[in-house]
Amino acid sequence: MSRQSEFNAASQAYYQAQVDLSQSLVERVASWWRGLSPQRAAEGSPAVVREFQTLVSASRSRSYAEGVNYHQAARKAATGDAGDAGDDDLWESRDTAAEAGKAKVSYYVHTAPLREEMKRGRLDDPDFLKSLDDTMESAGRNLALDAGRLAESGGRDALAEARENDAEVIGWYRMTDTDPCGFCAMLASRGAAYSKFMEPDQFHRGCHCQTLPLFRGVSMPPEDAAKRDEYLARFKATPGSGSSQARAFQEAFDTERKARRDGQSA
């Protein structure tokens, strides 16, 4: 297998591992959420929040390890040298307290509508109970999706640290998921060309896109290069300039994406 083929395979394997890890956590959080009563979920006691933090932390740790392993595999495929797995110059000490804090914030942000709903009605009112169930379901869905984002942040953090500290990294690019939003497609259209106005480490809930490193001796995997070319051509064909062009590109892209998804679900 050529160096390029090894690099392509490592990149695809890492992407799939992150997707699987995130989706698995989303399912586990959703299952855990279904075991909570609306009252207990809305109250958000320290014990409940710790349960959520533990779920997120375990997956985030696995994601971080996947990021470290991928960087080494991609580096070795490109240069023949994986570097030192324990090299403190590449990977910084994780701030687990800050990670736990982000999970706590996520819990309270996504359960805020549930707390407001609990104040609105009476638990002996059938109509209110139906509305409460709907709010509970929505809060749990949003919390689970954000848990998946927090988990994938582990690998994304590991790669961001490595590319900052590894002199072998000559650039990076956005690998999009199978159905990217307009914002992610716009970032992917840049290929390996970024600026302070195009921050590569911005990810939303439900996003499986990745910012991956490039090394001398290898190029972007062909499927990612093809997406870059497609999105760049579309961006250039979008009327306007600067922020207005970027906004028009994203709006048109997202409109088509929504129509496609609505058609698939019909």
Three-state secondary structure readout of 28-90 = HHHHHHHCCCHHHHHHCCHHHHHHHHHHHHHHHHHHHHHHHHHHHHHHHHHHCCCCCCCCCCC
Low-confidence stretches of the chain (pLDDT < 50) are: 85-86, 195-196
Q: Tens of pLDDT along 16-75?
A: 999 999 999 999 999 999 999 999 999 999 999 999 999 999 999 999 999 999 999 999
Q: What is the rounded CA–CA span in Å between residue 213 and residue 79? A: 13
pLDDT attached to residue 87 = 56
Q: By the 8 A CB rule, do 73 and 155 touch?
A: no
Report pLDDT for 85: 46
What is the Cα–Cα distance from 79 to 72, expressed in whole angstroms? 10
* Other residues' Cβ atoms within 10 Å of the Cβ of residue 128: 15
Strand locations in the chain (E)? 169-175, 210-215
